[in-house]
Amino acid sequence: MPFEEENSEKIAMVGLGRVGLPLALAFLEKGFFVVGVDVNEKKLEQLRKGEMPFSEKGAEPILRRWIQKRFTVTSDLKGAVSEAGVIILTLGTPIDEHMNPIFEQIESTMVKMAPFLKAGHLIVLRSTVYPGTTEQLKRFIERETRLIVGETLFLACCPERIAEGNSLEELAVIPQIVGTLDEASSLKAQHLFKHLTSKIIPSDARSAELAKLFCNMYRYIEFAMANEFMMIADNYERNIYEIIELVNRDYVRGGLKKPGFAGGPCLYKDGFFLINDIPYNELISIAWKINETVPAYLIHNIKIRQPLEGRKVVILGLSFKRDIDDNRNSLSYKAKKIFLKEGAQVFLHDPYLKPGDLGTVLQDAEVLLVAVNHRSYQELSLEKIGQWVKPGCIICDIWNLFGTNRILFQLENSLLPQPVPLLSSQP
C-alpha cells in the first residue's frame, strides 16, 4: 500500500484489535494522522515498540514506519476524541452465556465520549451490531449533547468486510458499504473511505447493519449445509467428496460447498443478533447447532472404530480458520474437550499458536484430527506422517487436506501409509 501525501485530518481509532489496527495502518499509509485508543496497556506497549500484537500480512513494517510519528497510541479516550475530526469505533460485540448480544463496550465508550463530542465530528461505527444500533446512537448523541446528527455531527455505519490476515490487501479492493441516516453523513463518510478504495456503496444504516450480518450468516449456513450433507452421505455409506464432485463438475447450477469446522467470533455469534425479534428463526439456529456438533459427530465415528481411552490423539490446528493466529470460538478446543472426556491423551499443534516440532508431536499418535487446513500442513504427505504415527492410526481429515477424498481413513502401517477407507464409497 503506497504512502501518500500528508492528510491533516486526525482519526481516533477506538479499539486496536484485529479490525481497528489494520484499518489504522491503512489510513496512515494514505497520509492521515491516527491516534489509537485501547484499554489494554500491554498491547499499547507492544505497539509503541513497533511490534504487532497479532499476525497480519504486511502490517509490521507499516507500524514501524509510523509509530510515534503519524501514529500514537493511548488509553486516554478524552484526549483522542478532543483532538480528532474522525472517530472510528471498532469495539467488540460479544454474546453472553444466554446467547444475547453484549453492547457494553460501545455503550460505555459513547457515555465517556459524549462530553467531548464537538461540531464537525464524523463518528463511524465499524463494529458488528444489532439492526437499529446506528439509530440508537443518534438518539443518544442528540439526547446527551446539543449536536444534531446530519447537521452539526455526522454518523455512519461502515461495517468491516475483510478477512483476518489479509486486511491491508482487501481494504483496497473490497467495496465499502456506507450506511447512514442522512445525506450529509453519507457524503462525509464516503469522502473518508475513498482514500482507501474507489468502490463505495452508499445505503441506509439499518441495511448496512443487516448486510454485515446476512453476509456472515450466508457463509455459516453454507457450512452447515455442507456439514449436514456430509452426515447424510455417511448415513448412506457414501463419500461426500465424491458426491460433491458429481454435483459440481461442469454443472452450471453446481456449487456445493465442502464440509469443515466453522467457528470464529463472527460466524459463531452473529446469527444471534438477528433471531431475537422473529418467531421463525430455525434456519440460523439449526445452522449453529449443526456446525457446533461437527466435532462430536466426527469423534463419535472415530470412537465406534477404535476406543479412545488411553489413546494418543493429536489435533492439528487451533485457530478458527487457516493461516491466522486467532483462536476465538475455534472448534478445535471443543474437540479437545470431547477427546479428554473419552479418556484420550490429547496433544496440540498449530504453526501460529502452538508451534513445535511436528514430528515430535505426531510420534506414536493413534488418532490424528486435522482441525484447520493451514497451508503449512498441506506440505505434509501421508508417507511422512506414516513414519511418525503408530500403524493403524486413524486420520480424520474433514478438509480433505491429503486428497484422499476420505474424511476418515486408517494408515495400514507406518511404512506403507495407504488410506484404508472406513466408510466405503462402493455399493
pLDDT (tens digit, 9 = 90+) per residue, 334-347? 999 999 999 999 99
Indicate the number of domains in the chain: 2
Taking each helix axis from N to C end, the angle separating 205-235 and 240-248, rounded to the nearest 10 degrees, works out to 120
Hey, what amino acid is at 263? G
Is 31 part of any domain? yes
Domain that holds residue 162: 10-198
Are 63 and 165 in a shared domain? yes
Taking 70 as the threshold, does the pLDDT of residue 183 lie above it?
Answer: yes
Q: What is the average per-residue pLDDT within 141-146?
A: 95
Q: Residue 107, Cα to own-chain centre: how many angstroms?
A: 23
Task: Please say which residue of 168, 198, 228 terminates a domain.
Answer: 198
> Measuring CA to CA, how many Å separate 181 from each of 109, 140, 144?
21, 14, 18
**Which CATH number do you get for residue 375?**
3.40.50.720
Examine the fold and report which residue of 198, 218, 253 is the final residue of a domain before the chain moves on. 198
Name the DSSP letter for residue 377: G
Whether 226 is in a domain gets the answer no
Residues 179 and 256 in one domain: no
Predicted pLDDT of residue 93: 64
Q: Indicate if 114 and 44 belong to the same structural domain.
A: yes
* Residues 246, 193 share a domain: no
Residues 243, 178 share a domain: no
Q: Is the pLDDT of residue 4 over 70?
A: no
Using CA atoms, how far apart are residues 245 and 260, in angstroms rounded to an integer?
Answer: 16
Same domain for 241 and 189: no
Of 246, 257, 342, nearest in space to 301 by CA: 342
66 and 165 share one domain: yes
Residue at grid coordinates 505426531 = 362
Q: Render pLDDT for 287-307 as a digit per residue (tens, 0 to 9).
A: 888 989 999 999 999 999 989
pTM: 0.80
Q: Let me know if residue 5 belongs to a domain.
A: no
Q: Answer whether residue 401 is part of any domain.
A: yes
Q: Which amino acid is at 120?
A: G
Has residue 219 been placed in a domain?
no
pLDDT of 79: 95
Domain-embedded: residue 157: yes
SS3 assignment, position 200:
strand
Cell 469423534 belongs to residue: 299
| Residue 276: predicted pLDDT | 63
CB atoms within 10 A of CB 72: 20
378 lies in some domain: yes
Q: Which of 391, 402, 341 is nearest to 369 (CA)?
A: 402
b/e per residue 137-160 (b: at least 16 CB within 10 A): bbeebeeebebebbebbbbbbbbb
Q: Is residue 365 part of a domain?
A: yes
